[in-house]
Structure 1
Amino acid sequence: MAYLASYSEVAPDRAEIDVMPGMVLIEFGVDWCPHCQGAQPFIEAALGEFSTLPHLKVEDGPGRRLGRSFRVKLWPTLILLRDGQEIGRVVRPANVREINELLLS
């Protein structure tokens, strides 16, 4: 799956996430967030190297249960899962290297 430009208002249930096979990258944030906007070039560049990695870009905020279930506190937060289990995360990435290190874990 290629890089996604916008955050989706529709989020999968946590139970769906927990049974996803293989590697999945979930990105939490909102389109209007300056930190999210600033990180997008880094995220897009990193995902260019991992074009087959599923990328879920989920809008977060008050009343958004999926982000709370992952204890997301700052945006953007990228969480890498393997078979539904978190294996790493990056919060407010400042460069491509941080994201690549996550994706290579």
Structure 2
Amino acid sequence: ALYLLVIILPLSGYAGWIAYGEAPKPFGIPLPKFEPLATFLESKKAGELLWPVHEYAGLALTALLVIHVAAVVRRSWLARNSDRIDGLNRMRAGPTGQSE
């Protein structure tokens, strides 16, 4: 779901800008406006559909990221007093228990 939303969010924003007849400028960088796509989207009034998709995809992505980070913190918290190898510590310090 995270990967899907990472793709859907910018594409729906780009198409939404084009549907309203403007060229998108994320961070001040003008993006190309593909005329066949612009003509199709403007004729179908797609902006009314694309902006809610963009908005809800952003909210869903934010919620999934918060849940993901909370799960990492929870798993790290639960693993602090167990014999399991903690994934968060492993990512920070590398494998544990190696003999020299």
Shared fold, TM over 0.5: no
Quick one: higher RCO (CA 8 Å, sep 6+), 1 or 2? 1
Higher CA-based Rg: 2
* Structure number having the greater strand percentage: 1
TM-score, length basis structure 2: 0.22
